[in-house]
């Protein structure tokens, strides 16, 4: 095992996770995402998933905004739904959800340290004849998108892309 670790360390690779966001951000606040979509709880879902991902995959500590000069803000520009498949001309069996977000990591005096605009993700879900089940499927798809977006954002911030 020690030999494997020596080879991995010698090649410049590092194990997944760890490190600070944007190379040196030790503490960051995450503001609730502004939600410009019709999905009422999307802002909270995207924010919570980003906080979880930062906490689990980086050495950066998520703190209250009064305890840091580094802040991540996000805007959900849109969440749209489209038909993927039908069982007939009138019956939809599967839909696709697409979310588009903008995210910024700002430093002291509002300087932008890192940003991404038009970041998107997609997820499909099965349409149900039961309204309650259909809403649950739709909600789960939005939550899955929030998780995927958070994973990709943190990965990019750790890689400094």
State how far Cα 112 lies from the chain centre: 19
Which is the CATH superfamily of the domain at 18-159? Lipoprotein like domain (3.30.160.150)
122 with 97: CB under 8 angstroms? yes
Task: Write out the H or E segment, with its range, that includes residue 61.
Answer: strand 61-62
Residues 116 and 113: their CA atoms lie apart, in Å, by: 11
Contacts of 143 (CB under 8 A, 6+ apart): 45, 49
- Residue 17: per-residue pLDDT: 56
| pLDDT mean for each 10 residues of the chain (161 residues) | 38 58 93 95 96 96 93 97 88 92 94 95 90 89 95 90 58
60 with 28: CB under 8 angstroms? yes
Q: Which pair of structure tokens corresponds to residue 7?
A: 């080879």
- The burial of 99, by beta-carbon neighbours within 10 Å (0-12 exposed, 13-18 middle, 19 or more buried), is given as buried
Break the chain into its structural domains and give their ranges: 18-159
Task: Write out the H or E segment, with its range, that includes residue 149.
Answer: helix 131-159
Residues 97 and 82: their CA atoms lie apart, in Å, by: 7
- Residue 129: per-residue pLDDT: 85
- Residue 13: per-residue pLDDT: 45
3-class secondary-structure state, position 75? strand
Q: Which pair of structure tokens corresponds to residue 146?
A: 């929030």
- Residue 23: per-residue pLDDT: 87
- Residue 35: per-residue pLDDT: 97
- Residue 108: per-residue pLDDT: 87
- Residue 161: per-residue pLDDT: 58
């Amino acid at each position: 095992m020690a030999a494997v670790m020596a080879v991995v360390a010698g090649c410049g690779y590092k194990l997944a996770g760890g490190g600070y966001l944007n190379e040196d951000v030790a503490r960051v606040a995450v503001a609730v995402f502004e939600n410009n979509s019709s999905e009422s709880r999307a802002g909270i879902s995207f924010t919570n998933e980003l906080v979880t991902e930062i906490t689990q995959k980086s050495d950066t500590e998520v703190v209250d905004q009064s305890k840091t000069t580094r802040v991540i803000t996000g805007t959900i520009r849109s969440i749209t739904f489209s038909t993927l498949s039908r069982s007939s001309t009138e019956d939809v069996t599967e839909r696709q959800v697409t979310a588009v977000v903008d995210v910024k990591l700002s430093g002291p005096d509002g300087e932008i340290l890192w940003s991404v605009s038009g970041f998107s993700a997609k997820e499909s879900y099965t349409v149900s004849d039961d309204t309650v089940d259909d809403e649950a499927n739709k909600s789960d798809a939005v939550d899955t998108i929030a998780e995927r977006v958070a994973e990709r954002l943190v990965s990019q911030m750790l890689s400094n892309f």
